[in-house]
Every structure is written in structure tokens, then in C-alpha cells.
Amino acid sequence: MKTIKYVLMVAVVAFGFSDLSAQKEETLFNKLNLNISGGWGGSTTTLTKFGDDNAVFTGGFGGVELGKVLFLGWGGAKLVNDVAIGSSNTPNFDMSYNGPMIGYAFNASKIIHPTAMLSFGKGEVTLADNGSSDKIFTLQPSAGVEINVFRWFHLGLEGGYRFVTDTDIPTLSDADLSSAFGRITFKFGWSWGRAKENKREDF
């Protein structure tokens, strides 16, 4: 009799576990219905001007791709050459920034396709001659094209405008730091699944 009770108890427990395991596990991503379709990271080189001086920023980024078309990530860049800026005319001006990135690829399965990007976040400017430094905010909308060189490597060319606010250094203004720019992007990673706008898996 005890053996029969024991067998029945084990059967009930086993059935309970099998019923639980049959239920679909809920996670944050499937609850929000996020269609993660890839992961990308890489480097950027940005050409811009401060006054009459040419300037070069280099930086990097990383993030995830959603639905084959939307990119959400984080990136930053730093000035790498000497420029003269503002009324101080110092060649020892320095600037850096970082923050979120939101990008969209149109017809992403095509070899060459249009893209749009918006990056924003906090930054810092420094004048080395008098030690002045200040926190700033940058907003950089841009548009361009992306070339699918390999499935794991994409090349981007884009242009945009850098809006800078919250500058409090007396010898600098927001207008001194704001300017048009051109950027080249080296993007490495992988994209899986099929693009919504194209059933071919040629991305």
C-alpha cells in the first residue's frame, strides 16, 4: 500500500513539473515583442570645422539591431587634432562627447541603402591655456548611405549637423562649437533572420 502511495505521489509531482515546463517562458524581450536581429559595433571618423580650422573626431560605438532596420546603441568620440577656437584663439582646445544612438536603415537588404541617425548626449570642452572646462550637451542628426561590403562588415558615409548647448566658458559660445560634419563609419557585426521588406536572406 505504501508503495502504491509513493508511486502516485511521484507521478503527481512529475506531471506538475512537465506541465510547468510546457509553458512558454516569459522574458523581458519577448514580453516587449522586441525583434532583435543583430549586433553591431565599430569605429567612426568625423570631419568638421571650428571657425576656420579643420577638425577630426575619432570614436566608437556598439548596439543591437531590431527588425533588420532599427539600430539602438551607444557611442562617443574625441577631438584628435589641435584647433584654434573662440576669442581665446588657443590651439589647445579639446572636446569629447558620448551618448545614445538611434539609427534607421531603409531597404537594408540592398547593397547600397539610405540611412538616418540621431545621436545625443553629454560632452566636455576644455581650454588648456587657462584650464577652463565645461560640460555640454550635443545633438547630432545625420543622413547618408550604407554599403553592405560583407555580411559582417558595412561601410557608412553620412553628413549632418552638430548642435551644442549649455556652453558656459566665457570665451566660447554654443555657435563656436556647433557645425556641419561628414562622417565615415566602419561597422562590424552580424545580422540574422530576414528583412521585413525582402524575403531574400542577402543582408
What's the pLDDT tens digit per position in 171-185? Answer: 788 998 999 999 999
Helices (H) and strands (E) in the chain, counts: 3, 8
Three-state SS at 92: coil
Which pTM was predicted?
0.76
Q: Which three cell numbers stand for residue 112?
A: 547600397
To which residue does cell 581650454 refer?
127
Q: What is the pLDDT of residues 162-171, one digit of tens each?
A: 999 998 888 7
Task: Give the CATH number of the domain where residue 135 resides.
Answer: 2.40.160.20
The predicted model gives 13-20 an average pLDDT of: 46
Using CA atoms, how far apart are residues 115 and 143, in angstroms rounded to an integer? Answer: 6
Structural domain count of the chain: 1
Confidence at residue 84, expressed as pLDDT on a 0 to 100 scale: 79
> Residue 146: which pLDDT band, with cuts at 50, 70 and 90?
very high
DSSP state of 152: T
| Residue 122 placed within a domain | yes
pLDDT at 26: 58
1 within some domain:
no
- pLDDT for residue 140: 98
Give the residue numbers spanning the domain of 112. Answer: 32-191
Residue 108 CA to residue 65 CA, distance in Å, equals 11
